[in-house]
């Protein structure tokens, strides 16, 4: 199976005064994510499920992608994909959705880098805002995988 990891888009820390949980994407973040969603559509990932963090910026990112892919019916919010997300959470979610062969997780740093690193047996992984990685996991039991690719946002949504 393939697990995709999409870090949320640009969310402004300096202008936002509310709770971090509710911090939204900026206008630039929404626009850039819309361009990324178009690139993700062209990749034809054949997603069975999009699982997002409950934090506003991740949910907004997931909704933009799901809308572009006509996949709102395959979008679920799962608290485990929040700030403390790890490989154990990936394993639990994957095992709960045994029919899924391609799952996209939408979440945060630094948990995404640490999770992908653990899944692939080590190494440094750097997720910029809007980066997308693909990890192939041949065995759902051990969840040991191989990093097939990591696309930075400047590849998915180049400047116009």
**Per-domain residue ranges for the chain?**
2-156
* Domain covering 2-156, topology: Rossmann fold (3.40.50)
Cα 95 to chain centroid distance, Å, stands at 18
- pTM to 2 decimal places: 0.95
Residue 157 pLDDT? 81
Q: Which pLDDT does position 160 carry in this prediction? A: 63
Alpha helices in the chain (DSSP H): 27-43, 56-68, 87-96, 111-119, 153-156
User: CA geometry: angle at 41 spanning 20 and 102, to 5°?
Assistant: 75
Q: What is the pLDDT of residue 143?
A: 76
Q: Would you write out the chain's pLDDT as a tens digit for each of its 160 residues?
A: 999 999 999 998 777 878 878 989 999 999 999 999 999 999 999 999 999 999 999 999 999 999 999 999 999 999 999 999 999 999 999 999 999 999 999 999 999 999 999 999 999 998 999 999 999 998 777 778 999 999 999 998 877 6
What pLDDT sits at residue 158? 78
Contacts of 19 (CB under 8 A, 6+ apart): none
Tell me the pairing of strands 132-136 and 49-52: unpaired
pLDDT at 144: 83
């Amino acid at each position: 199976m393939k697990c995709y990891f999409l870090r949320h888009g640009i969310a402004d820390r300096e202008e936002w005064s509310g709770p971090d949980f509710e911090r939204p994407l900026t206008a630039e973040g929404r626009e850039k994510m819309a361009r990324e969603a178009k690139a993700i559509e062209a990749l034809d990932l054949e997603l069975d499920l999009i699982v997002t963090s409950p934090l506003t910026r991740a949910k907004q990112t997931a909704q933009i992608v799901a809308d572009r892919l006509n996949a709102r019916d395959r979008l679920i919010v799962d608290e485990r994909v929040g700030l403390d997300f790890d490989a154990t959470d990936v394993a639990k979610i994957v095992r709960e959705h045994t029919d899924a062969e391609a799952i996209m997780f939408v979440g945060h740093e630094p948990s995404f880098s640490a999770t992908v690193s653990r899944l692939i047996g080590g190494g440094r992984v750097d997720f910029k805002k809007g980066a997308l990685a693909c990890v192939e996991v041949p065995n759902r039991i051990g969840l040991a995988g191989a990093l097939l690719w990591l696309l930075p946002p400047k590849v998915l949504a180049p400047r116009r």
